[in-house]
Amino acid sequence: MPIEIVLYIATSLDGFIATPEGGIDWLSAIETPEEDYGYEAFYTSVDAIVMGRRTYDQVLSWGDWPYPGKPSYIMTHQPLSSDLAEVSATAQSPSDLMATWSALGYRRVWLVGGAALAAAFRAEGLISEYILSIIPVLLGNGIPLFMPPGPRAEVQLYQAETFTSGVVQLTYRAAKPL
């Protein structure tokens, strides 16, 4: 069974995943204790996590590691300062990392971000599912969800869900690249 790589990410209505400086404080506008936007069910469904170095550094700034119990792969050429057993650095290409995960028996991996890493996986045609939470805010500028240039690819809408906060969560499955 092939590994599914899922890009599960929040984006502003105008297509940015962070401010120009990498900030995501604008996400707090939709945080409510009674709604997790399907996060827990999604988190349970993945075997491992992959993220880029800048995303990793930002996640560390939040305090406690928010991804307990999941092997976490940080794509970087620099050593990590973490002593977390489940976190490891890798400089493998996306396709080589897929082979590693396959050998480990992983079936579903969450691509946390950021945009450059998503672009690398996308360029190799490795993202099988896109779960995009559209946040009702216009940032006007920032780090785009999809960095140009990128390959053209067809996707098919699988699910759409709306929330009282104004968030719209769209799930697309990748069709074959054009």
Q: What is the mean pLDDT of the chain?
A: 92
State the Cα–Cα distance between residues 42 and 70, nearest whole angstrom: 13
Residue 178: what pLDDT?
Answer: 45
Bridge partners (DSSP) listed for residue 132:
9, 170
**10: pLDDT confidence band, cut at 50, 70 and 90?**
very high
pLDDT value of residue 153:
86
**Closest alpha carbon to 166 in 19, 11, 30, 18:** 30
Q: What residue ranges do the domains of the chain occupy?
A: 4-116+139-168
pTM summary value: 0.93
- Alpha-carbon Rg for the chain in angstroms: 16
What pLDDT, in 10s, does the model give residues 96-153? 999 999 999 999 999 999 999 999 999 999 999 999 999 999 999 999 999 888 888 8
- When pLDDT is cut at 50, 70 and 90, the band that residue 177 belongs to is low
**Of 53-57, 82-86, 152-156, which range is least confident?**
82-86
CATH class of the domain whose range is 4-116+139-168: alpha beta
Q: How far apart are CA 109 and CA 72, in angstroms?
A: 10
Arithmetic mean of pLDDT, 8-30: 92
The first and second tokens of residue 24, run together, are 């995501």
d(CA 5, CA 23): 25
Helices (H), the chain: 39-45, 53-60, 94-104, 115-123
Alpha helices in 20-150 (DSSP H): 39-45, 53-60, 94-104, 115-123
- DSSP 8-state code for residue 17: E
pLDDT at 176: 66
